[in-house]
Each structure stands twice: as structure tokens, then as C-alpha cells.
Structure 1
Amino acid sequence: MGAEWPVYQVSELEYQGKLLVQDGNHGEYRPRKSEFLDDGVAFIRAADFSSGAVNFHGAEKINLTALKRLRKGIGKDLDTVMSTKGTVGKIAFVPQGSPFYVCSPQTSFWRSLDHSFLLPEFLFYEMQSRQFVEQVGSRKGETDMAAYLSLTSQRSLYIRVPGIDVQKKVVAHASSLDKKIKINHKINQNLEQMAQALFKSWFVDFEPVKAKIAARQRWQALQPENEPASPVCYAAELDEQPAVGDLDTYMNRAAMQAISGKTTEQLDALRAEVPERYNELFETAALFSSAMQESELGAIPEGWDCLPLDSIAHYQNGLALQKYRPENEDDYLPVVKITQLKKGVADGEEKASPDIKPECIIDDGDVIFSWSGSLMVDIWCGGRAALNQHLFKVTSSSYPKWLYYHFTRHHLEEFQRIAESKAVTMGHIKREHLKQALCAIPYEPLLEAAGHQLGNQLGKQIILRLESKTLSNLRNTLLPKLLSGELTISSVEEARTEPQEAAHV
């Protein structure tokens, strides 16, 4: 199939008005340092796209003055963006509805001008085909400088353009997997946001405890036999007036509001409609103390411990793996450095002996903390690998993974500030900073209750990431075979209908 598709040179398609390829502005036309700002038009560099997607939010922005001076390189939705210098050939697709953007001099956009001839999505997949990647690889070393693919070289490349019906089927098969990966990514983003909000509320801001303190003050103030309560209040006004009942119940109801975000009326409805859920929420609220105590960290809930990060988890530094090369090229572990951690993939660029100490071998689900250069914390889901120096593998024999993961993330901003203040090329932190990073640790029953939510959420995130990895591998196996002709569209369609037919047997 793929071998029989018509082949066109890029310059020919540009001449026919079916394709447009442009790079960013060079020299006097490129944006100046003073023209970058926090809110403007995205200026896309190679670092701003990965895994086939563009990170518009994280990209630097330019102002209108710079935009008006530009002569080319203004991209829009349905483009395919390609890196052309350094890491040459990395591509990403710009989905429909995305904002317009500007290419840096080290990137270019490829745009179909005739969608009845060339689908933008098919162009994106064709640029991942083996025949196209090999062309790029053969041309990127034509200069004596760093790897570079000039605009002239890009226009000399060839792409295959089958009939539009074939394009639609290729896109349908490949994009179905991409869509599922994107859905998983979106779900994971939502799970992470919810987990961070919950963790901050319970273990940083102590909102349920403060809600109890505020409720007690209000309850006491409204008892006729008591003196007026202190005006100091730890939480916003509650929407519930004291009802007949004991103080503990009143405080627990306040904590329930802080935990769930529900109003009094909504809590009453929950008790009537789903009493099991109401009782579970009440029991969780009861686990929070109703007073604060002083600590090295400041005021923390009564009965909690104040511990440094290196007391709740072990931070194992990786190895200088250039000293541990494999003896056998077929028996090795891929090396994970900061680059691989960012990509989430152990790409095998470097290899290490599998006989390194087990503490420096990582696997799916491990918490990894990059403490030098680009500081970040992530859950590794890239398979079994060897951990290089400048990365910590974080473990604990005393506390659950969700706790030390979230507390390490909580302190990350301060760690980044410390690293940036270092007057060296590679900013970093030291072990003493782990000891200075204090954490409020609750008693066991509350840890267990929090684990039902935060631990389960983290587990779901890991499962979704591993599923996306499997889908990505399947897509990366399927797409080259579709594009090369090794696998026909009809055979893929037959394979996809077989499970459905079997399900009806």
C-alpha cells in the first residue's frame, strides 16, 4: 500500500499551492529580548513541544510590536511544527481551535493549503514515517555546525500523498489511539489538580482543623452562659447556625463542610440520600483535631508531628553511570537522566550494566526527584531503568508513597528558588535543604483515611499513564506498518472487528 502511493517533492507541492513550509524569522526580524512578556503571542521553540503536542501555555510570549515586524513564520491551527536545529525532526500537531503562534528560527511549520488533496492530520503522520525520518536524518548533517535542516533542505524532501479516502482511514486508525492517550492525559491532569488541592487543604493549610476551631468559637459565643468568644477566627464564616446538639457534632459538621465543600443543606441532603457516604465523611472529619500547637514549622494541628523530608523518606542519589557500562550490548538497562525524566521515556541513548546496586534501579511507579539543573518531581512510568546522578529515587519504609510524593512536590518551589540562587551553571540543592524542609505529619488513623483518597488517586494516575504508554507503543508499531504498506488498512479493519464479533458469540 504505502510503497504504491504517489510521491511528491515539497517544493513541487508548494509551487502547486497545496503546501506551505516556513521557518521562523532570523536576524533583524526576530523578536528582541525586551519584546517578551507574560501575556502575548506564543513564540514556539523546540522545547515547547513533545509527544506530538505543543505546550502553548508554557511557551514564551511576544508583544504586538514584535509580531508586526515579522515577515514569516506565523503559524495557525492544523499546522505540523518541526524542530530544525539541534534535536532535528521532532514534530507536533497543532489541533483545530488552537491560537495562532510564531515559530522561532529553530522551528518550522508545515501547512496543507488544500485539504481535499492533503489532510493536515495525514501530513503529521506521514512526517513520522520511516521514509521521511530517514530523509531528515540524511540531510541534517550537511553543515559543519550543530545538526540543522535548512528551509531549502526541507523543500527538497519528499512526501507520499495517497488518495483522500486512504488518508482518512489512516488518520482514523492512528488518531483513535491518540485520542485515548489525550483523554488519559486530561483525566490525569484533573486527578493531579484535585489531589494537590486536597493535600494542601488538609496538610498545609489545615482547613478542617481551622473550621473546627472557628465552629467552637461561634458555638461558645452563642451560648448564653458563656462569655463572648475571642474575635480571632481561623476560618471564614460558616453558613450553619448552631443547632441543638453537642459541641463535637457541631465542630465535625464544620470540618465536613471544609472537607467536602458542601453547604449545610447539601450535607443534610447527603445524610438523607446517601447515609453511608455521610457517615464516612463524618468519621473522617472526627479524625481532625480541634486545636493547634506550636512547632518548628509554626502552628500545626494538635497531636501532629513536625518532621523534615529526609525523616519521612529516603532520597537515594543515582550513579555516575558512565563508570558502569554494560559488558554485553544485549544485556543492559537504559539510563535515565533529566532529559529522559522530562520525556517520561527511557530512550536507550545511554546504557548501563544491569548489575548496578538495586537502590539505583528504577521501575514503574517510583517517585523520582531531579535535584540539579531542572528541578522536578514525577512518578516514573517509563519501565525498568538505571538512575543517573543528580536524580533521587524517593522511597520510605515508614510512610505511604502519596505522602512523600506530595510533600516533596510541596517543597519543590522553594527548592527551585534555592537552586536558582546558586551562582553556578547547574543550580542544585543539598541534603541539608531536605532536612530544612519541614512537614506536618498527622497520626496514623488520619493518614489511613487520607490514603483512601490521595493514595487511590495516585494509583489511578499511574495506571492511566501506563495504559497510555501501552497505547503509544501500539500506535508507534501500527503507524509505520500502515505507512510502509507492511500492514494494509483492510487487515487492520478486520482485526478491529474480530473482537466485536467474538463478543456476540
Structure 2
Amino acid sequence: MREGWYIWETSNLIAKDTLEIGDGYRAKNSEMGIDGLPFARAGNINNGFHFDSADVLASHSVQKAGNKISIPGDVVFTSKGTIGRFAFVKPSTPQFVYSPQLCYWRVKDATIVDPLYLYYWMQGPYFFSLVHKVKSLTTMADYVSLSDQRKMHIIAPSIHEQKKIAGILSAYDDLIENNTRRIAILEEMARMLYQEWFVNFRFPGHENVNMVESPLGMIPEGWDVVKLGDVCSITMGQSPSSQFYNVEGDGLPFHQGVTDFGKLFPSDRVYCTYDGRVAHPGDILFSVRAPVGRINIANKKIVIGRGISAICSKSGHQRFMFQLLKDKFQEEDIIGNGSIFKAVTKEEINGVELIYPNEEMIIAFEDSVISLLLDVENLLKRNANLRYTRDLLLPRLISGEIDVSSWVEDSPVEEVVDKGEELAMAAVGAQVEPMRPIDTKSLTWHSLWDQ
């Protein structure tokens, strides 16, 4: 350990009122309601907070939760079942109540421990080794008790260097967050244009087009109702024997279902040395087992298992078909006439009825959205590069392997990212794909501490 770094027992920090480690409120079903605070469980913690589907602790019960209500600066840790998800409570994070699946580490004296440094330190290999030791002591489901957490320790440099380390790593997360916002805006623009043209039928020149009857209701004259199998080639996945699977990267990436689906492209974790059924770059990946209808795009040749089908437009209009399917399957597990499916066959997919416009309208739409979709793809790639570099830097920064004493605090984000790439490449002796120049004029920078 480098000179000037310290090891603090969490028990001592708690005794000195520097740190509080707590768990969640054990709510009764009768305490749930409609108005109140989100009751956060492990499922609501995944690369941030997601409260859309969270239960709500009723207003009249919130006061019973006491200090088990979030405060900005809390580091959230999933400690039961799904171990090792983290989130940081920002001032902009909606206030919520912790469930027993979560623990919080709350810094009470930020002159000793920087909350954001603590958030990143807990994601490092040393903390995970501590967690692994204690969770392996029980034969029950994975669980890290409060008593065990209060016997752990924290490794940290001076508060000044803690802030520098947190600032370096948060620069990456800030940029990822801003890019993610831009992606959401671009995707919404493409979705709204599709809705306007092909759902509301307010496409360019619609005033001069008659509406005619069809099996799916009134549609513009010259459009048709087709089955998905009429306009697309569909390949149903088939799972090879597990003897062909590996995680070392041998063969082609293998995707059995939606586990590794991303925002647009899947991430590769398992590989297969037997080709079997494959999807080609640009194919639409469509889940055929619960959740039915989740969609990604293959960005390379992959082997597909029985939970996925690959869909390719026979006329080459993949961008239009992607938007059409995203609109058609907005609600997962609903297909065709609105019936709920937990799995679908090739015949059922082939038979899905679609309102299909004329060729001229499809081309006009694709020309209108191509720049939006390319921007989305580029931003997703940029985020992947940022995460890769951040994940290379994190263990080296929080261990002191990379000296930050010469770093200037509050440097512009782009300077931090550029320097971080240089350090990451030097640390691993490998080439990290260079980042494209960042147009700061087109971005609104948001610190993790922004309101």
C-alpha cells in the first residue's frame, strides 16, 4: 500500500460517528399504498435507480422507517440474494425507503471519508473479496449481514486524494449519463416520427391519400396488411449442447435469451464453438420466450439459442422494420391479437399481421431517421469505450497503483477522459480504442452533485 494511505475499521468509523451502516425497513403488506415513497428492492438497483415498477410505502407509514430513508450521499449496496449491485444517491435522486434487500453506507463526516470515493471503492476487487468471504459462510441464499459489514475495513488515501480519485471516475460516469440522455432523446424522436407517419397516418402528403378498409381497420390507400413472414426471413434459434459453451472467447458469441441484451446491442459473455443457428450483423434479435418481444440488433455474427429468433427484412429495410417491431411489441409477452404468450413458435411469429406502407414511404422514413439512428449507435459505442476505460482505471486508482497527486482538481471532463485513457493504456500495455473528439458545445455537463 502506498505511503499516505490508511486502513480504517468500519467499526471504529461507526464508533466515531463518521460512518453509519444500516439495512432496510421490514414493511408489512398493509403499509403499502399508492401515495408515499418508493420502497426500493434489489430489482430497482441496476446501474442507477429504477423506480417505475417499485412498490410504494404509504405516506402514513413512512415515518416508521426512521433513518432507513435515503439521504443524498448514501452508497447503496444489495446485500441479499443478488449481491453486489451499487448505486449512489444524488441530490436529484427521488427519496425512497430501503427494503431489507438493501444496505446503505452513509458518511457522516465527509472530512474523513468522501462519499463518492466510498461508492467507487466498494466496487473494487478488495471489497468484493471481503464480501465473498462472509457470504460463503452461510448455506442459505447469498447474504451479507450488517454485523459482517460492520467488521470490514476501508482503504483510502487523504481526503484530498479521495476527492481526486472520485472526480476522475465520476467524469466517466457523468459523460456516460449525458450520452444516455442524448440516446433517449434521439430514440424518442425516431419513435415519434414512426408514430406520426405509420400509426396516426399523418405522413407527408397524407391529405391527398384516401383511407380504405383493411383487416386491421382503415389504412391509407396503396398500403397493405401483410404477415411478418411475408416481408421478413425468420431464423429460430436452436441451442447446441452445453459442451460447446465457454467463456474464454472461443468460437462465436452465444446468446440463449435476453440476459445479455443491451440498449441496442447485446453484450457478449458466453461463446460457442458450434455454429448451429446464427444471426448476422444487422439482424433484429427477437425474444421468443418470456419476455416475448424484447428486441436488440446483432452487431456481429452470433449463435442464437432457442430463446431468440433473428429477423431480416427481405427488401433490406431493417431500420423501418426495427421501428415497426419496437412499436408492435411495446408491451412484452403480447403478440398478435393481444393474447399473452410466454413462448411463441415460428408459425406464430410468421403469422403476425402488420400494416405495411408502400416502398416510397418506407424509403422516405428511413432517410429521415438514418442520422438519428447512427448517432444512437455512435453514442452507444462511445459509452462502451468509456465504461471499459473506467473499469480499467477503477481498481488501479482505489489501490494507489496510479498516483493522482499531480492531477489538477476540477479539470474539464474531456481532459480527465483523455488523461484517463493514457493511464489505462499504460497500465495494461494494451490499445484502448481511441475516443472520438467530444463536442462540448453540444453537451450539457451534469455533475453527480447537480440538483
Which gives a bigger RCO, structure 1 or 2 (Cα 8 Å, sep 6+)?
A: 2
Deviates more, 1:335-344 or 1:469-478: 335-344
- Deviations, residues 178-234 of structure 1 (Å, cap 9, x unaligned): 1111111000111111111111110011024xxxxxxxxxxxxxxxxxxxxxxxxxx
Identity of aligned residues (%): 28
1:341 to 261, 269, 272: 261
Matched position secondary structure for 2:238? coil
Residue 324 (structure 1) shift: 5.1
- CA separation in 2, counterparts of 1:487 and 1:381? 37
- Deviations, residues 103-151 of structure 1 (Å, cap 9, x unaligned): 1211111111112222211111111121111111221122111111111
Per the alignment, residue 363 of structure 2 pairs with 448
Deviates more, 1:484-493 or 1:405-414: 484-493
Per the alignment, residue 115 of structure 2 pairs with 120
Per the alignment, residue 174 of structure 2 pairs with 179
Residue 479 (structure 1) shift: 1.3
2:221 to 285, 294, 302: 302
1:496 to 416, 419, 424: 419
Amino acid paired to 2:39: F
Matched position secondary structure for 2:244? coil
Q: Choose between structure 1 and 2: higher helix proportion.
A: 1
Preserved contact between residue 362 and residue 384 of structure 1 (Cα < 8 Å):
yes
Matched position secondary structure for 2:76? strand
- CA separation in 1, counterparts of 2:333 and 2:246? 38
Per the alignment, residue 31 of structure 1 pairs with 28
Per the alignment, residue 161 of structure 1 pairs with 156
Residue 361 (structure 1) shift: 4.6
- CA separation in 2, counterparts of 1:328 and 1:89? 21
- CA separation in 2, counterparts of 1:334 and 1:134? 29
Amino acid paired to 2:344: I
- CA separation in 2, counterparts of 1:393 and 1:410? 17
Cα pair distance change 1:455/1:394, threshold 3 Å: farther
Within 5 Å, which residues of 2 pair with 1:19-168?
19-26=19-26, 30-32=27-29, 34-51=30-47, 53-168=48-163
- Deviations, residues 141-163 of structure 1 (Å, cap 9, x unaligned): 22111111111111112112321
Cα pair distance change 1:72/1:386, threshold 3 Å: farther
Per the alignment, residue 234 of structure 1 pairs with none
Within 5 Å, which residues of 2 pair with 1:325-336?
325-326=244-245, 329=248, 331-336=250-255
Preserved contact between residue 35 and residue 56 of structure 2 (Cα < 8 Å):
yes
- CA separation in 2, counterparts of 1:122 and 1:3? 18
- CA separation in 1, counterparts of 2:268 and 2:159? 34
Residue 19 (structure 1) shift: 1.1
1:207 to 202, 210, 224: 202
Preserved contact between residue 310 and residue 434 of structure 1 (Cα < 8 Å):
yes
Task: Verify: 1:312 aligned to 2:231, yes or no.
Answer: yes
Residue 289 (structure 1) shift: 4.8
Cα pair distance change 1:436/1:366, threshold 3 Å: closer
- Deviations, residues 46-74 of structure 1 (Å, cap 9, x unaligned): 111222x1113342322123323335522
Within 5 Å, which residues of 2 pair with 1:100-499?
100-208=95-203, 285-286=204-205, 289-323=208-242, 325-326=244-245, 329=248, 331-336=250-255, 337-341=257-261, 346=267, 348=269, 351-357=270-276, 359-361=277-279, 366-380=283-297, 385-413=302-330, 416-417=333-334, 427-489=342-404, 496=419
Amino acid paired to 1:44: A
Residue 490 (structure 1) shift: 5.1
Amino acid paired to 2:399: S
- CA separation in 2, counterparts of 1:473 and 1:382? 18
- CA separation in 2, counterparts of 1:111 and 1:147? 23
Moved over 6 A (4+): 381-384, 491-495
Matched position secondary structure for 2:109? coil
- CA separation in 1, counterparts of 2:280 and 2:82? 26
Cα pair distance change 1:294/1:345, threshold 3 Å: closer
Residue 101 (structure 1) shift: 0.8
What are structure 2's unaligned runs of at least 5 residues?
Answer: 409-415, 423-436, 438-451
Amino acid paired to 2:404: I
Amino acid paired to 1:444: E
- CA separation in 1, counterparts of 2:123 and 2:138? 23
Residue 376 (structure 1) shift: 4.8
Residue 459 (structure 1) shift: 2.1
Q: Aligned Cα RMSD in Å?
A: 3.1
- CA separation in 2, counterparts of 1:19 and 1:298? 63
Residue 321 (structure 1) shift: 4.2
Preserved contact between residue 3 and residue 484 of structure 1 (Cα < 8 Å):
no
- Deviations, residues 245-280 of structure 1 (Å, cap 9, x unaligned): xxxxxxxxxxxxxxxxxxxxxxxxxxxxxxxxxxxx
Amino acid paired to 2:238: L
Matched position secondary structure for 1:192? helix
What are structure 1's unaligned runs of at least 5 residues?
Answer: 209-284
- CA separation in 2, counterparts of 1:327 and 1:497? 32
Cα pair distance change 1:313/1:497, threshold 3 Å: closer
Residue 294 (structure 1) shift: 1.3
Deviates more, 1:305-314 or 1:470-479: 305-314
Amino acid paired to 1:187: R
Matched position secondary structure for 1:298? coil
Matched position secondary structure for 2:196? helix
Taking structure 2 as the reference length, the TM-score comes to 0.82
Equivalent residues, number: 412
Deviates more, 1:381-390 or 1:64-73: 381-390
- CA separation in 2, counterparts of 1:497 and 1:477? 9
Per the alignment, residue 440 of structure 2 pairs with none
